[in-house]
Chain A
Amino acid sequence: MRKLTTPFIGLSAGMLFVAPWLINMAPFESTMGLVQKIFYFHFPAAILFLVSAIVCGIASIRFLFFKKASADAWAIASAELGLLFGALTLVTGPLWARKAWGVWWVWDPRLTMSLVLFLIFAAYTILRKFGGPGSDKLAAGMALFGMLNVPFIYVSVNIWRTLHPMTSVVPTLPTEFGIPLWFCFAAFTMLFIALLNLRATLALQQARIEALYLDEDEA
């Protein structure tokens, strides 16, 4: 996985550079017109926001229940990416909603729980930063509770009739809309994997240095 970092960064940079042209070439959506184009960034960011919660949760399970010390690095990395992609989702969403629904924000289940998940990531990061020694297990427990929100956020729009479009919209998208969407999705995903690798490697190296210091103290 780690060898992919450099090519993925280059590739996603190139693709995100080309993306505006592809998005510009896609036809206007019949009712929303130009504002719908923010969707090509909103959807990949939102999906990766949920993916990072799942990665963080699974890494925390491996850390807590299977005593994999290295899994903690992946949990830190994905939590910080969750903050990043969550911020992207929560900025692009209201920008779109202001024009499409007429309001910046509504308290519907998906929006509320997405904000809550973002807050959980924020609390997780604060805990990692200021908790000091002993906070790693607590953070892992926190990540497990955060992961609970993901299925809820995903299915909520299909259960409650809300303003937010349902999950069936994306698979039934016409090809002209689908091409720029999946192009952006691929670019975002590669960026996500590359950043995840870089951040996890950094966390692993930090842990190794700390272990070396501890050994030095004991010697």
Chain B
Amino acid sequence: MSGFFRVAWQVVRKDMTVEVRSKEIVLTTLLFAVSVVLIFSFAIVREGRAPDDVAAGILWVAISFAGTLAMGRTFERERYNDTLRALLLAPADRPAIYAGKLLGLLLLLGLVEIILVPLVALLFNAPILAFPGKLITLLIAGTLGFAAVGTLFAAMLVRVRSRDTLLPVLLYPITVPVMICGVRGTAALFQATPDEPLARLWIAILIAWDVIFVTLSLWTFEPVMTE
């Protein structure tokens, strides 16, 4: 088991080193997420006032759009430099490689969310500091569920034609449950009279989906990546 985490850690470190040097994915993803939020604010805000209860939805739409972009890019880079084959040839467990890729993506999206969440709070009057613990749990669990399926699909799509258009088409229907839990849970925290038990219920359902998605992804990564 320690071997699993060592391999995963090595993959994370590799991805982070590349990313720290180029900063390509984190900057493009961040700029994209900010643009999405700005487009929403131009579309929705009237006379300087945002309508109530839209912040949660906009936050999750921005996260899912930006997440899709980042997923596509992480594997596009492997394909471009022809390093995916090398990565798969490494004498290591395939699920460990998957876990490393997933963790790298989570770190990246976490960085983006650190800027995205305050921005949404600012533009759409969301009380993000009312329940910081629950909000962070929702963000982590939601991003995990979304990225778990996304990492698997992006890895498989590397070999497929028109991969850029197919990733969101395949990913969004499957991750709908995660999105619903994330949006509903966050909305329960953001509404005028926050509903903590409801948010707790959505967090519980969200974690259940996370467990299912991560297990199934770890299980299928091995056979789908074998040539």
Contact = CB atoms under 8 A, between A and B. Distances in A.
B153 A141 contact: yes
A203 B82 CA distance: 33
A21 interface: no
7 contacts: A126-B166, A126-B169, A133-B159, A138-B156, A140-B224, A141-B152, A142-B170
A116 B176 contact: yes
Contacts of B216: 144-145, 148
Interface in A104-157: 112-113, 116, 119-120, 122-123, 126-127, 130-135, 137-138, 140-142, 144-146, 148
B179 to A, nearest CB: 10
B112 to A, nearest CB: 25
B35 interface: no
Contact of A119 (B166, B173, B177, B180): B173
Nearest to B213: A145
A121 to B, nearest CB: 9
Contacts of A137: 156, 223-224
Q: List the 4 closest pairs (A to B, CB-CB), nearest first.
A: A134-B159, A119-B173, A132-B161, A138-B156
A145 B166 CA distance: 16
A109 B187 CA distance: 18
A130 B220 contact: no
B160 A134 contact: yes
Interface residues of B, number: 24
Contacts of A26: none
A138 B157 contact: yes
Contacts of A112: 176, 180
Interface of A: 64-65, 112-113, 116, 119-120, 122-123, 126-127, 130-135, 137-138, 140-142, 144-146, 148
Given A119-B173, A126-B169, A148-B216, A131 B153 contact: no
B212 interface: yes
Contacts of B212: 148
Interface string B45-81: 0000000000000000000000000000000000000
Contact of A64 (B166, B173, B176, B220): B220
B223 A146 contact: no
B68 to A, nearest CB: 14
Given A116-B173, A120-B173, A64 B224 contact: yes
B161 A131 contact: yes
B162 interface: yes
Nearest to B156: A138
Contact of B162 (A130, A133, A146): A130
Contacts of B20: none
A218 to B, nearest CB: 18
Q: Among A127, A130, A145, which residue has the most Cβ atoms of chain B within 10 A?
A: A145
B87 interface: no
B174 A146 contact: yes
A59 to B, nearest CB: 14
Contacts of A140: 224
A37 B33 CA distance: 49
B224 A145 contact: no
A120 B172 CA distance: 9
